[in-house]
Amino acid sequence: MWSRAASVRFRAPLDAGRSFASKAGPQGKIQAAGLGTQAPRLVPQGNGRVSPAVIEHLERLALVNFGSREAVDRLEKAIAFADQLHAVDTDGVEPLESVLEDRCLYLRSDNVAEGSCAEELLQNSNHVVEEYFVAPPGNISLPDMVNKIPSSTAE
C-alpha cells in the first residue's frame, strides 16, 4: 500500500550530477518519486487503472503476487480510496512525518547490554551450518511476469 502522504518530500538516492526531487504537491498529481529508476511512471492513469508494467514492478519490489484480476482491482480501488486525501487543502501546512514528532528521542548510553544468545537465535532457523544462518545464494531475479496477468488495459 503506497503511503502517499509520506512520499511528498523524498529526495532520490544520490546520483553524481543527477538528482531527482519528487515533484510533490498535495494539490497536483504526485509524480513518481522519480528515483531515476527503470520504474514505470506511476502517474495515475485518470481512469483509475494500473498498468501491467507497474504491477510487475510492484511485484518485483515488494515480493507480492498480484495473481488475479481481482487483486489488481482491489489495488485500484485502494488507490482511489486514498485519492480522497486530495480533497484536503494543505496549503502552507508542514507534512507530519511522525506522530511521535513532539516526543523526545531517548538516547541510550553506550554500554554493552545484549548479545551472546547465538543458540537462542539459531533455534529460529530450521537450517543452520556451524552457527551461521543459511540463505539461498545471492539474489535470484524474478522472471518476467507481465504476460501472465490477464490484462484488459491498453497501455
Partner 1 sequence: MAAPVLRLGFPGRLWALTWRDGGSRHRSGSQTGPTSIWARRQSSVAQPSLHTAQKPRKGEHKWAAVVGLEIHAQISSNSKLFSGAQVCFAAPPNSLVSYFDASLPGTLPVLNRRCVEAAVMTGLALNCHINKKSLFDRKHYFYSDLPAGYQITQQRLPIAANGHLTYCIYLGKKPSQETTKTVRIKQIQLEQDSGKSLHDDLRSQTLIDLNRAGIGLLEVVLEPDLCCGEEAALAVRELQLILQALGTSQANMAEGQLRVDANISVHHPGEPLGVRTEVKNLNSLRFLAKAIDYEIQRQITELENGGEILNETRSFDYKLGCTMPMRDKEGKQDYRFMPEPNLPPLVLYDDTSLPQGADSQQVINVDQLRDMLPELPSATRERLVQQYGMLPEHSFALLNEVGLLEFFQNVIKETRTEPKKVTNWVLNTFLCYLKQQNLAVSESPVTPSALAELLNLLDRKAISSSAAKQVFEELWKGEGKTAAQIVSEQKLELMQDQEALEKLCQTTIDGHPQVVMDVKKRNPKAINKLIGLVRKASLSRADPALIKKILERKLSL
Cα–Cα dist 1/50, whole Å: 13
Cα–Cα dist 14/121, whole Å: 36
Shortest separation between residue 26's beta carbon and partner 1, angstroms? 17
Q: Which is nearer to partner 1, 91 or 131 (CB)?
A: 131
- Cell 485500484 belongs to residue: 76
Three-state SS for 21? strand
Give the chain's largest Cα–Cα span. 59
Sole binder of partner 1 in the list 84, 126, 139, 147 (CB under 8 A): 139
Q: Which is nearer to partner 1, 87 or 129 (CB)?
A: 129
Cα–Cα dist 44/7, whole Å: 15
Interface segment toward partner 1; rule CB under 8 A; list 61-69, 70-78, 82-90, 143-151: 61-69
Cα–Cα dist 129/64, whole Å: 29
**Binding flags for partner 1, 83-112, as an x/- string (CB under 8 A):** --------------xx-xxxxxxxxxxxxx
Site residue total, partner 1 (CB under 8 A): 58
List interacting residues with partner 1 (CB under 8 A): 3, 6-7, 9-11, 13-18, 33, 35-39, 57, 61-63, 97-98, 100-118, 121-122, 124, 129-139, 141
